[in-house]
Chains A and B, each alone.
Chain A
Amino acid sequence: MSKIQIEVLGSGCARCHKLEEVAQQVVRELQIDADVQLVNDVRRIVGYGVMQTPALVVNGSVKLSGVVSDKAAVTRAIMDELAKV
């Protein structure tokens, strides 16, 4: 199984860091092999077509955008992508 790429898009606001934390936590709890990365380059954020940060991108597809870090939702988003590989 290949490594899962998780990106947290956000330009450095408190909510973005919170989402990164939650994503890290979910990865630990699910015990999956994943790489969590904080992306604050506007060009890349816009490149994903995202307008509301923070946003959660799993393996290149936008899963959550603008939502407050909700652990259940983050878990679902990652599980969803896990099921595909």
Chain B
Amino acid sequence: MLNRFADFVAYHVLSLNPSTRLGGAVQFFIYDSIKIFLMLAVIIYGVSLLRSFFPPERTKAILSRQRQYVGNVLAALLGIVTPFCSCSAVPVFIGFVESGVPLGVTFSFLISSPMVNEVALVMLWGLFGWEIAGLYIATGVSVAIVAGMIIGRLHLESQVEEYVYQLQAGQGDLPSLHWRERHEYALAYVKDILRRIWPYVVVAIAIGGFIHGYAPQDFLVRYAGRNSWYAVPLAVLVGVPLYSNAAGIIPIVQALMEKGMSLGTALAFMMSVTALSLPEMIILRRVLKPRLIGLFVGILSVSILVVGYLFNAVL
């Protein structure tokens, strides 16, 4: 039905010729944009509703009873459902550490939560299908578990700013929510996210459509194919300044994959975009000493590189 609507707009309203490149590109653009926005609205609403049951306070309570390993796995999984915005990184970090969540477990959460976020999942699902979206969740959670375990094993507690340990967190009695409030929360969240990301989505789908229609087939195989040794680190490096902008990146990645970028490289790129964010590091500097920030970035980068090379090697 969506396809018919896109046909109608492209070929009748705009009277473009279906057999031309422009006609095809415009039809593709209209179809993809409508599909993605519908999916974003519906899925973000559902996820927000679900999330209203998993505030970080509850996650904290669950994790403070866990030890290494099991704790890392739980933290990475809870990171998927707990809402997180990088502006909350500091209170979340302090709250976790203060209530006795081990440092490595806290990091598993801090990595998984922004990496496996609902916008990235919708875009991956809508544009690549559920297999790749699932693969992204699985690898993202694994990276969070492993990186958190390594940080835990390194015993870096002294690399946290001292004042964090002296803080006494208040007992936040959470206002209990009724369904009406959950609905309002979810609706407000959908509006907020869509308002924030729609220009990126539109521009990215347009660029993706352009690459799809005009770039020569296979032109990236040589540079970003699975046999290119430098493609993965380059993708990670390029991803760092594009922080937390999955909405603007995934449609372009899709087009680049069509033209020969390998899956491992694409996964590494997307993880770098979502997980390695400069502003978040600056925010975390308020609670972490520079050495721990450096280690955090280093361990996370290496884990992402491993994912990239691994998938390039086996697929």
Please report A residues at the B interface, Cβ cutoff 8 Å.
10-13, 15-16, 42-43, 45-54, 62-70, 72-73
Contact = CB atoms under 8 A, between A and B. Distances in A.
A48 to B, nearest CB: 5
Contacts of A51: 55-57, 60, 88, 91-92, 95, 172
B83 A52 contact: yes
B87 A10 contact: yes
A50 B60 CA distance: 12
Interface of B: 55-57, 60, 83, 85-88, 90-92, 94-95, 98, 163, 167-175, 181, 184-185, 188-189, 191-192, 283, 286-287
A16 B87 contact: yes
Contact of B87 (A12, A49, A64, A72): A12
B175 A63 contact: yes
A45 B283 CA distance: 15
A2 B67 CA distance: 48
Contacts, number: 99
B87 A11 contact: yes
B55 A48 contact: no
A49 B92 CA distance: 10
Given A13-B85, A15-B87, A67-B188, A50 B175 contact: no
Given A52-B88, A53-B91, A68-B189, A46 B56 contact: no
A46 B184 contact: no
Return the 3 tightest CB-CB contacts between A and B, nearest first: A49-B172, A13-B87, A49-B170
A16 B88 CA distance: 10
Given A68-B188, A68-B192, A46 B87 contact: no
B53 to A, nearest CB: 13
B20 to A, nearest CB: 42
Contacts of B98: 46
Contacts of A47: 167-170
B188 A46 contact: no
Contacts of B174: 62, 65
Contacts of B171: 49
B91 A45 contact: yes
